[in-house]
Amino acid sequence: MSIEPQASPALAGSARDGRDARWEAHRTQRRRQLVEAALRAIRQHGAGVGMDEIAAQAGTSKTVLYRHLGDKAGLYGAVVSAVDDNVLADLREAQESGGDLLSRIAAMAHSYLSLVERDPDIYRFVMTRPLEDPDQPDPVQRVTGVIGEQITAALYAHLVEAGRADEADLLAPAWGHGIVGMVRSAADHWLSTNTTDPDQPSVDDVTHAVMELIRPALQGVTRA
């Protein structure tokens, strides 16, 4: 009678860990592919795209979508996360473009508005939060919060340098997040009124309009 060699528990655990890691990598890649298909479907069908249209774009079934992304709220969260990553990368590049504070804020506003112009249906989709999950945090706040904190930090340093350190804790966050809110509201209004009319404001026009309100405030931060 022969006795087959038995794998040691350590080796068995290592093999299982390897399989788990490969399966997790496969799931991550598949999820990324489905999100990319969702983005293509949104561009094709608009912000009101349905799960059937996304599944068709991905060449799969709704069952597979639900397995990897969950319900429509889960799909929404995955799409917003992917868009946020791209937005933050673009804004980081704009912030690091050099120049004074006003130039950097203008570059960030221009970058945000360029996204709206480039992908209007994606922007509408992101801004239309599903009603199915009202108790969950708004994922859009992630990107706007990060941008607000970046501008707040820059404003804080600007105020300190201008001799207003005693007010910086109050003014910097109020102004920083206020600027983000203003750019977002301007983008929403611009998108809602934007048509194929060549006389419609461009990204440069809207950026200029926003900065015309911000510039006097920041240029006058030094006490008289």
Alpha-carbon Rg for the chain, nearest whole angstrom, is 24
Among 34, 20, 113, CA closest to 77: 34
CA distance 39 to 21: 27
Alpha-carbon torsion angle 13, 14, 19, 22, nearest 10:
140
**Which domains does the chain possess?**
9-70 (1.10.10.60), 80-224 (1.10.357.10)
Segment 43-54 mean pLDDT? 90
**pLDDT tops 70 at residue 139:** no
In degrees rounded to 5, what are phi and psi of residue 186? -65, -40
CA distance 180 to 177: 5
- Tell me what pLDDT residue 31 has: 86
| Percent residues over pLDDT 70 in the chain | 81
CA distance 50 to 69: 14
Segment 84-100 mean pLDDT? 80
- Tell me what pLDDT residue 137 has: 64
Amino acid letter, 50: G
pTM: 0.76
| pLDDT confidence band for 73 (50 / 70 / 90) | confident
Tokens of 55: 């599944």
- Tell me what pLDDT residue 224 has: 45
**pLDDT tops 80 at residue 36:** yes
- Tell me what pLDDT residue 168 has: 94
| pLDDT confidence band for 2 (50 / 70 / 90) | very low
